[in-house]
Amino acid sequence: LFTPKVEANKENLDYLRKAMTVLAANECDDTEVYYKAAEYAYAIQPTYESAIGMASWSKQQGKMQDMLTYYEKAIELCSTDARRGRISLVIANSLINSKQYTGALVYLDKAMAYDKELTGQASMKKAVVYTALGQYPQALTYCDQASAADITVSGSANRLAAKIKEVQANAAANARAKAAYDAYIAKQKAEEDFWGGKK
């Protein structure tokens, strides 16, 4: 329905913006026609909405650098810090999914700086990042911070913390078992060397 109309109005910014709004309202903001409308609108005059559309399209295509560029433009063009914080959180999630953890941590910090209400969600994501990096003490710290800041993520934070503690306990048990085994082998070798006349 919209595809031919978008093509016919590709130089009509007002129409393109209305089309994007209608498509988004009907959960069609992940369709090719939506992205095409965003592309045409962005070419005429970059706006917050068209930048978001272009960022989403770039993400779908796996073009992470382009995605970051468009999201940064959206941050620049949007009118509230709350939105800037949300965009930063979306960027961080995308970077976590592509295992770009350093960049993800930067955007999680930005999300909290823009909007303190995102502290819980951002802290939860930081806990996930530090868990993936095997830095468990930091991960546990952020689990606690997330749980304290936002009740909606407290359950997830507490479950992740329990898993981390389980992994740590298993690692400690494995380390003790290995130390005991190494000591046993060393003792056996020392006895063999003694009885073999090497000592």
pLDDT-derived band of residue 176, with 50, 70 and 90 as boundaries?
A: confident
Kind plus residue range of the DSSP H or E element containing 138:
helix 136-149
Q: Which helix (H) or strand (E) holds 112?
A: helix 101-114
- What's 47-96 look like in SS3? CHHHHHHHHHHHHHCCCHHHHHHHHHHHHHHCCCHHHHHHHHHHHHHHHH
Query: 143 vs 86, 121, 129, 140, 152, CA distance in Å?
Result: 20, 10, 11, 5, 13
Structure tokens that stand for 73 in this block: 């433009």
pLDDT band at 173 (very low <50, low <70, confident <90, very high): confident
pLDDT for the residue numbered 91 = 92
Most distant CA atoms of the chain, gap in Å: 95
pTM score over 0.85: no
The amino acid occupying position 94 is: S
pLDDT digit string (tens) for 17-73? 888 888 888 888 888 888 999 999 999 999 988 999 999 899 888 898 999 999 999
Q: How far apart are CA 111 and CA 43, in angstroms?
A: 28
Q: Calculate ∠ Cα 67-42-28, nearest 5°.
A: 70
